[in-house]
Amino acid sequence: MDTMMLNVRNLFEQLVRRVEILSEGNEVQFIQLAKDFEDFRKKWQRTDHELGKYKDLLMKAETERSALDVKLKHARNQVDVEIKRRQRAEADCEKLERQIQLIREMLMCDTSGSIQLSEEQKSALAFLNRGQPSSSNAGNKRLSTIDESG
């Protein structure tokens, strides 16, 4: 853009010099001046057209960027909501695991037989005899993330 303005300025200075020459009354130089004016007008017109085209492109890019900013804001909000939901689910899971562990310990430590369970209740609580979860998942209590990039 700066080089274009420099070229336009040089053309203008050339035209001014030609106008000064006109005052001397040389017809050939006057014709050359008229041609230079026409060339200058055409270049100015092309430059003005290019400027309009670039303004349109800039406006489209700004509109697209604005729309993408809105999408990004919504995506970030959704991520925050999902993180909070995940944290609540993990807290609920840990709470339930602690309750199950307490029930298991209570049932295993009842040597007096004071807790009487029906067969249906015993079969429902049979999973407590399996012990702790597998060691591969015991170190990592958090839920694993899902890779959606592919």
pLDDT at residue number 65: 98
Is the pTM for the entire model greater than 0.85?
A: no
- Cβ proximity of 12 and 37 under 8 Å: no
Q: Where are the alpha helices (DSSP H) in the chain?
A: 2-22, 27-108, 119-124, 135-138
pLDDT at residue number 1: 64
pLDDT at residue number 48: 96
Structure tokens, 80: 């925050």
Mean pLDDT by 10 residues, the chain (150 residues): 78 83 72 91 96 97 98 97 97 94 81 74 72 52 67
pLDDT at residue number 139: 53
- Cβ proximity of 125 and 107 under 8 Å: yes
pLDDT at residue number 135: 43
Residue 139 φ/ψ, nearest 5 degrees: -75, -25
